[in-house]
Structure formats: C-alpha cells, structure tokens
Amino acid sequence: MTEKQKIVLASNNPGKVREINALLEDISLNIRSQSEFNVPEVEETGLSFVENALIKARNAASHTGNATIADDSGIEILALNGKPGIYSARFAGVGATDEANLYKLIEEIKPLDEKNRQARFVCLMVFLRHADDPTPIIAQGIWDGVVITEPRGENGFGYDPIFYVPTHDCTSAELPPETKNQLSHRGQALRSLITQINEM
C-alpha cells in the first residue's frame, strides 16, 4: 500500500473517532472520517463483533470507493453471559444515549454478588481494501476489568465510568486518555491492525 492511499474510518461515534485519531497520530496513513463522505448509517445485523465490523467497513467502502477501517466493540459481563456484548450501543433501546445504556447496565449488575462483576471490553477492528475484499485484515483487543455501580470519572465515553481497572485502581473514565489508549481493547486492536497493514 502506498503512503498516500486514502483510508476511510467507518464510524460516527465521536468518542471512538477521538480515540482512534489519537492512536493514529504518528501513523503515515491518510485516514479520513466517513462523515466527510456523507456515508449513511448501516444496520448492524451481525451476531458477532467481527460480522458487524465487516458490515460497517463494507458500507463505507461501497459508498466511498476507498479502503476502510471499522471497529465493533462493546462490554461483556461474565455473570450476565456476556451481555450486553454486541448490543452495548443499543442496550437501552435503538438510539439510546450512552447515559441510558450505562444506567440500564448498572441496574442489571446491582443484584450480582460483588465477586461476580468481572467484565471485559472487546474490540474487533477490520481493514478492507475495497467493498468486495475477500481477505479482510482482522484484529482483536480485549481489556479485562470489573464493573462498579457508582459511576466515576469524566474521560472517555459509554461505559467507561463503571469500568474499574484493577491494575490502575480507577475507572477507565478516570484514566488520562493516553493511558486508556495504551491499555484499551481499541488500542490493542488498532496497533495489531496497523502492524498487519504495514506488512502488506
């Protein structure tokens, strides 16, 4: 791949776009947001993170004619059999705010024993050379933590205020953005994806 080739980032989630752009700051790829191209939202009909990431990447590639990067991510609570998982962004209903999703999850974890609150953030990130690319590049990141019922911290987005990170004794919303990017599911997946793209 040439350095100048345009790659479209298939996300309209401002929290995600902010983190991904920060992670891509030092990378010599020409990354552009799909909002510049008026790419319409696509329904996430997949039953797994990777299927939904591919749906979003393919949608952006077919509307722009460019290579694309997309991620699908969410939080999984072990004791809730992985809920909300791929439904994290619409846990409180389609179009729900981050806050509504957060408080719905808090209500679901309140009955759980404190010892049973293990959680993880999952991110699947894909790269498509074009809409019909039969060999997408795929990377995964997983970040383990524990959920709490009292939100803490102002950074990040989504479920960050209730995702307690034992190694740092704070929630991911209390971590400086650079530290979150070093540790996070999204940071892990994106670094792995970029390594694979550079090897192309």
Q: Which long-range contacts (CB under 8 A, 24 or more apart) does 135-138 make?
A: 136/54, 136/57, 137/193, 137/196, 137/197, 137/200, 138/50, 138/53
Smallest separation (angstroms) from ligand IMP to the CB of 29: 21
Give the tokens for residue 35: 């909002």
Size of the site for ligand IMP (CB under 6 A): 18
Whole-angstrom distance, CA of residue 88 vs CA of residue 64: 27
Which of 10, 76, 105, 158 binds ligand IMP (CB under 6 A)? It is: 158
Whole-angstrom distance, CA of residue 124 vs CA of residue 144: 15
Contact 200, 127 (CB under 8 A): no
Residue 30 CA neighbour count, 13 Å, CB half: 8
The single residue listed with the structure tokens 């806050």 is 99
Smallest separation (angstroms) from ligand IMP to the CB of 52: 6
Which of 88, 171, 181, 188 binds ligand IMP (CB under 6 A)? It is: 88
The DSSP code for 71 is: E
- Determine if 164 is a binding residue for ligand IMP (CB under 6 A): no
Q: Which of residues 2-21 bind ligand IMP (CB under 6 A)?
A: 13
**Please, which residue, 67 or 70, has the CB nearer to ligand IMP?**
70
**Please, which residue, 7 or 76, has the CB nearer to ligand IMP?**
76
Q: Which of residues 90-109 bind ligand IMP (CB under 6 A)?
A: 98, 101
Which of 23-31, 106-114, 125-133, 151-159 is the region at the interface with ligand IMP (rule: CB under 6 A)? Answer: 151-159
Contact 33, 17 (CB under 8 A): yes
Smallest separation (angstroms) from ligand IMP to the CB of 28: 25
Interface residues with ligand IMP (CB under 6 A)?
13, 44, 72-75, 88-89, 98, 101, 121, 156-160, 184, 186
